[in-house]
């Protein structure tokens, strides 16, 4: 399973009228914190020339649910549609 519970996210579902089991449009009300961080693993070799690049924007950190469990839909910050996440997006090597 690639998701995990997030009490701050789940606490805002009912007040905002969001049902993650039945919703078909507003998936972004789910915080990206529910997705587990997993990586594809690669063994290093003499010919390996990997480089890693990451960008962590300020909007990725904001979620009013962390301070206010009754945040309105507009205060929930950025969410994620888990269906759109690329399964092999996070590569790493040992």
Split at pLDDT 50, 70, 90, the class of 17 is: confident
Tell me if residue 11 falls in helix, strand or coil.
Answer: helix
d(CA 27, CA 83): 9
Model pLDDT for residues 77-93, shown as the tens digit of each residue? 666 666 676 666 665 55
The candidate with the shortest Cα–Cα distance to 11, out of 72, 74, 77, 83, is: 72
Per-residue pLDDT band for 13 (boundaries 50, 70, 90) equals confident
């Amino acid at each position: 399973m690639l998701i995990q519970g997030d009490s701050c996210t789940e606490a805002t579902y009912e007040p905002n009228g969001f049902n993650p089991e039945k919703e078909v449009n507003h998936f972004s009300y789910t915080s990206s914190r529910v997705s587990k961080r997993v990586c594809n693993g690669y063994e290093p070799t003499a010919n390996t020339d990997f480089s890693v690049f990451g960008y962590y924007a300020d909007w990725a950190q904001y979620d009013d649910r962390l301070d206010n469990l009754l945040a309105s839909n507009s205060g929930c910050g950025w969410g994620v549609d888990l269906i759109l996440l690329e399964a092999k997006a996070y590569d790493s090597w040992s």
